[in-house]
Chains A and B, each alone.
Chain A
Amino acid sequence: MTDTELLLDRLSAEGPEPSASPFWRFAAPLLGVFALCTLGIAATLDGAFDPVERYGVMPLTAKWGFAFALVFLSASALWVLGRPARPSASVTIGMAIPFIFVAAFLALEFLQTGPVVRGATWRTCLLAMAVMSPIGFAGAIFAARWLAPTNLRRTGLSAGLFGGGVAMIAYSPYCPELGMGYMTVFYCLPILAMAALGWLLGPRLLRW
């Protein structure tokens, strides 16, 4: 009996069904880093939702709308990219949709008032994004590694977008800034930087 035949015997003895639910094994690390980032920010900063009392729900709705959409789309992309031979171009392109909305609102703001980029809390915002994005990214990488991604750069990019989106969701309730220019510079650019890092690191971190 050849080595390959022995291997076939061993593998077939383990059976055709995986031991755990595929979806929950994938979702658990994503939900875990989501909880970690949210609780981490809550333990560090005071005044969650104070900006809502001062400025109403619209600023937070815009930030959360963008970030939740990005997290959902990037998690979906990770799921699809982790399944070999599944077409992934549309889910990859789909992750650009939230950014298109931001660009449209930014253009509107530019025409009406000029871009509102400045904000007193930009340092806290950048720090929160810099600390929380890698945590979310790590969770996404962990989740993706359990699947079988064959396009590692694209998967790394999706993980980076997920990490940035999670960080934004966690910090947004504390953010009193209102401008779309601010959102572009202090949220979108750090998220894109995290995505670029994921693109670069994907082949190293996701190899299986």
Chain B
Amino acid sequence: MDQQANTLGDPLDRLMAAARGGNSAAYRRFLAEAAQRIRARLSRKMGADSELEDLVQESLIAIHEKRHTLDPGRPVAPWMFAIANYKLIDHWRKRGRNIVDLDTDADMAIGSESFAATDIEALLEKLPEAQAAAIRMTHIEGLTNREAGERTGVGVSAMKLRVHRGMLRLKDIADEDRLND
């Protein structure tokens, strides 16, 4: 019932249903709406990345090419975001870097493969709030340790320590998740 309600309420679902009913203008509007939502979602995960728009386009192409994998009547948004997330992970893999940039002395010891294929937001939720906030500020928002420390009222060393401990914990969680997959 909830699923049906969501399906009726989401413009993406209505547009896709109309498109599959033969309305080609609805398909154009569906893709435009999808682009907007994917851009918003990916920008939250990537930050101000210069390749954001490339990734949005890659996701749109994948959604179009794999549109036969969306079952009629199923909500579009989870399917769409699953594809976009897959493309994001693939993007990070191609660039040979982490979902989190390891650019400080404190966390350089963690291997680059540690967070491949992992949803960083889901991982951060498993950390103590102080460590998660430290990593968000320094690795996602791009603040320096000093700027992050000033924002939260702690010293640079304390901020470095929070980031370092958080990164080590993230690596452990990612390894555990991988073993459980």
Contact = CB atoms under 8 A, between A and B. Distances in A.
Interface of A: 3-4, 7-9, 11-12, 14-18, 22, 25, 82-86, 147-148, 150-151, 153-154, 207-208
A84 B82 contact: yes
A148 B57 contact: no
B69 A83 contact: yes
B23 to A, nearest CB: 8
Contact of A147 (B16, B27, B69, B79): B69
A147 B66 contact: yes
Interface residues of B, number: 34
Nearest to B30: A16
Contacts of B123: none
Contacts of B66: 84, 147-148, 208
B69 A84 contact: yes
Closest 5 CB pairs of A and B: A84-B82, A16-B19, A12-B28, A85-B78, A148-B66
Q: Which of A11, A15, A208 has the most CB of B within 10 A?
A: A11
Q: Which of A9, A147, A148, A151 has the most CB of B within 10 A?
A: A148
Contacts of B86: 84, 148, 150
A208 B66 CA distance: 10
Nearest to B16: A16
A95 to B, nearest CB: 15
A12 B27 contact: yes
